Structure 1
Amino acid sequence: MSTFGTLFRVTTYGESHCASVGAIIDGCPPGLVLDAKDIQVQLTRRRPGQSNLTTPRSEKDLVHLQSGLEHGVTLGTPIALLVKNEDQRPHDYSETDLYPRPSHADYTYLEKYGLKASSGGGRSSARETIGRVAAGAIAEHYLKKVYGVEIVAFVSSVGKIHLPDSLAPPSLTSLKEGEEEDEVVDALSPEFRKLLATITREEVDKYTTRCPHQETSDKMTSRIIRAKDKQDSIGGTVTCVIRNVPSGLGEPCFDKFEAKLAHAMLSIPATKAFEIGSGFRGTEVPGSKHNDMFVKADDGSLVTSTNWSGGVQGGITNGADIYFRIGFKSPATISQPQETAQYDGTPGTLAARGRHDPCVVPRAVPIVEGMAALVVMDLLLIQNSRKTAASLLPPVTTLPPTMVMPKTQ
């Protein structure tokens, strides 16, 4: 389906080479002061043609608000927005009339629907993500204004080039000679914890690769250029942190916070992997060392002394920073001749044309941020509706104290 969310519902529309792409957002609270520039900033970070590391397709990606606002204030009614496709080249994809492109959606869309878009991948194209980014920017605007939520994503690897271990998310390790099997170093190094707590979008955007480490960014640039020069592509990972998220968000059992987050992230084109908190590294660590122990905060509330859980326990946010990582495969569209088969099975050589990103991760950063905002916004509205409904009931005095949230001192 093309709709995401329960109370904050986003429906995206459009193909990569039609007249426009966009979204309808239903459930945005009324009274939110909103301007097109609040949305445009993220669309500009996502748009093509930003540097020599991205597709040369030239699009301004200017957002046009169609409904749901008056005098710069949301009405609570559906917000419609669109972005025009100005640099369309459907003729670049005529070879897909004969060939399903390897690892692309041409064949599977045809199998599912019995027909497909004639050019550019249609709805499977990353052009579709414009509506997500715009809707996510609206959600994030509310979250920032009301709760101080901060969402920052950055590139943590390109190909085999990774951030230094001290700055990187947890990774699987091999047992070294002489090392005890139960021995483990805290996956959250002091440097990585500081990065999660302090990184800003301004810092991320100082680097063309959106990797906030100069030496690593330079190596990533060279790797992406090398793929581009060979008419090839390369994948990578994006790490994201969400700060100041209220505790209590997530709907067990099937809409747990991390489940909704994984759903959102793996719906982004080219994604192949998702992990939250300690991720796969957590499988190597005994429970006695992996558990996040509770301590009393200055305000009397309970917090965890570590955060291997990534801010989510039992599928519900605990108030700590939420951090996760997404793996993006190498883009399927490349310009190298490829030995493959036509739709009728006839062997042949596909020499694809068109414009594509040699590596998607630098432009994927605002998409990840936008989808994260949609998850937080939707689950926040659900939790607030539950709390409001409960507050209308008379106080229950018959429950034992162990069943009720204790008051903080």
Structure 2
Amino acid sequence: MAGNSFGKLFRVTSFGESHGPAIGCIVDGCPPGLPIDAAGIQRALDRRRPRVVAALGQRREPDQVEILSGVFEGRTTGHPIALLIRNRDVRWIDYSRLDQLFRPGHAEYTYWHKYGINDHRGGGRASARETAVRVAAGAIASAWLGPRYGVEVRGWLSRIGSLELPFRDASDLAASPRFVADARLEPLVEALLADYRESGDSVGAEVALTLALPEALADRAPAWRGLLGKALMSVNAVKAVEFDEAEDALQIRVAVKPTPSVHLPRRTIDKAGRPAVLLTRGKRDPCVGIRAVPILEAMVWLGLADVMLRERAVQAGALTGGG
């Protein structure tokens, strides 16, 4: 089934389901000799985990990463890197009613009709749980691109619902549990999330990303929009991507849809095509756009790693006379 791999030369293939034993990925194409350890990848994963329990999702996964291959004595070998994250907070009972009903706004109806089978436990492969391994893989890409090329990627929550959240200060962003770059607006975000959580509804968001590049790379950034856009659109909650070139940076805005699982009655159908009313229970985020910030940063790192390897391959071919 397509859609499990992205990238051509720096290629990531993910596996696992939301409520299966584990999720993981294979990172192929990473240059050898790169210093990598589990602690560095873990720091990236910890940014993705909910940092405000009352306002975000109820699923509590430690997201402890294991490096199974491709790293020897703290450095990459050039061979495929296998990463594994075991699922700990698995509660199948929350999804017991969904073996016959389709959740609106999810991929379950499509999976059922396309493949004749659907993993109803938390969305299976279509769950946002899969994005944890993208963050882990992105940490590897950033460990190469940051020191090697001087690239910086920074994301923040720039809008939630109708509330605009402009960038004010990098220290505010670093301290924010919700990736808000203006500490004065944190109470407004907290109140908005509390309202949506109490009502059982959800809200969409916009994430802003800045890709800061050294002068030697800045003029090539416009040519990367297609590949980076494809990487960002592969995240299952993303609905639109917009690019804007500045003098020394590539600025990106990403629209993230409201969480489709809400605690309100919704009309749906069952597997026999009969109308039904569904009231979703279990774990949910009122705004998935918040946790999308480190995920989208990771996708930029992964897309850029693939770009740089492609350009390096073209240059090597030109030097050797290859086509």
Bin for the TM-score computed over the shorter chain: over 0.9
Q: Using the alignment, how far apart are the partners of 2:220 and 2:13 within structure 1? A: 23
Q: What amino acid does structure 1 have at the position aligned with 2:153?
A: I
Which of 348, 351, 366 matches 2:276? 348
Give the one of 185, 192, 202 matched to 1:223. Answer: 192
1:381 to 292, 309, 313: 309
**CA deviation vs aligned residue, 1:101-136 (integer Å, no higher than 9, x gap):** 111111111122111113110111000011111111
- 3-state SS of the aligned residue for 2:83? strand
**Retained in 2: the 8 A contact 1:49–1:55?**
no
- Shift of residue 56, structure 1, vs aligned partner: 1.2
The more displaced of 233-242 and 338-347 is: 338-347
Q: Kindly tell me: are residues 379 and 28 of structure 1, through their superposed partners in 2, closer, same or farther at Cα, counting changes over 3 Å? A: same
Match of 2:133 in 1: 131
**Code of the aligned partner of 1:364:** A
Map of 1:205 onto structure 2: 174
1:45-102: per-residue Cα shift (whole Å, max 9, x none)?
Answer: 1124643221111111011000001110110000001001000011211121221111
Looking at structure 2, the residues matched to 117 and 148 of structure 1 have their Cα atoms a distance apart, in angstroms, of 42
Q: Answer yes or no: is the 8 Å Cα contact 1:261–1:372 preserved in 2.
A: yes
Aligned mates of 1:112, 1:136 — CA distance in 2: 30
- Greater Rg over alpha carbons, structure: 1
Q: SS in structure 2 opposite 1:66?
A: strand
Q: How many residues align?
A: 318
Q: Is residue 2:242 matched to residue 1:275?
A: yes
> Does the CA-based 8 Å contact 1:156-1:163 persist in structure 2?
yes
- The whole-number CA distance in structure 2 between the counterparts of 1:247 and 1:157 is 27
In 1, the alpha carbon distance for the partners of 2:17 and 2:29 equals: 25
**Residue in 2 aligned with 1:337?**
265
SS at match of 2:300: helix
Alpha-carbon distance between aligned partners in 1 of 2:157 and 2:305, rounded to the nearest angstrom: 24
* Contact persistence 2:172–2:180 (CA under 8 A): no
Aligned with residue 44 of structure 1, among 46, 66, 70: 46
Q: Distance in 1 between matches of 2:60 and 2:234?
A: 25
Matches of 1:56 and 1:117, distance apart in 2 = 21
Q: 1:310 to 1:248 in 2, by over 3 A?
A: closer
- Asked whether the 8 Å contact 2:172–2:182 carries over to 1, the reply is no
Q: Which residue of 1 aligns with 2:228?
A: 261
Which 5+ residue runs of structure 2 have no aligned equivalent? none
Is residue 51–residue 208 contact of structure 1 (8 Å, CA) maintained in 2?
no
Moved over 4 A (4+): 247-251
Work out the CA distance in 2 between the residues paired with 1:90 and 1:50.
Answer: 24
In the TM superposition, what is the alpha-carbon distance from 1:218 to its structure 2 partner? Answer: 2.1
- Could you tell me how far 1:327 is from its partner in structure 2? 0.4
Question: What SS does the aligned partner of 2:175 have?
Answer: coil
TM-score by length of 2: 0.93
Q: 1:250 to 1:149 in 2, by over 3 A?
A: closer
Alpha-carbon distance, 1:248 to partner: 6.3
Q: In the alignment, is the contact (CA less than 8 A) between 1:49 and 1:57 conserved in 2?
A: no
Q: Report what 1:177 is aligned to.
A: none
Q: Given that residues 161 and 216 in structure 1 are in contact (C-alpha distance below 8 angstroms), is that contact kept between their aligned partners in structure 2?
A: no
Q: Aligned pair 1:240/2:168, yes or no?
A: no
CA distance in 1, matches of 2:16, 2:151: 30
Q: Name the one with the larger helix percent.
A: 2
- Counterpart amino acid of 2:206? T
Amino acid at match of 2:287: C
Q: Secondary structure at the match of 1:115?
A: coil
Counterpart in 2 of 1:99?
101
The Cα of 1:147 is off from its aligned counterpart by: 1.1
Between the aligned partners of 1:49 and 1:18, the Cα distance in structure 2 is 24
RMSD (Å) for aligned C-alpha atoms = 1.9
What fraction of aligned residue pairs are identical, expressed as a percent? 38
C-alpha distance in 2 between matches for 1:132 and 1:82 = 11
Q: What is the CA–CA distance in structure 2 between the aligned matches of 1:261 and 1:10, rounded to whole Å?
A: 14
Cα offset, 1:149, TM superposition: 0.9
In the TM superposition, what is the alpha-carbon distance from 1:351 to its structure 2 partner? 1.4
Tell me, which stretches of 5 or more residues in structure 1 are unaligned? 168-194, 278-308, 312-319, 394-409
- Matched AA of 2:315: K
* Cross-structure match for 2:249: 321
One-letter code of the match for 1:39?
I
Q: Take 1:249 and 1:131, find their aligned partners in 2: how far apart are those partners? A: 29
Shift of residue 348, structure 1, vs aligned partner: 2.6
In structure 2, give the amino acid aligned to 1:343. K
Q: TM-score, normalised to structure 1's length?
A: 0.74
Q: Is 2:1 the partner of 1:8?
A: no
Give the match's secondary structure for 1:24. Answer: strand
Cα offset for 1:249?
A: 4.8
Aligned to 2:87: 85
How far did 1:209 drift? 2.1
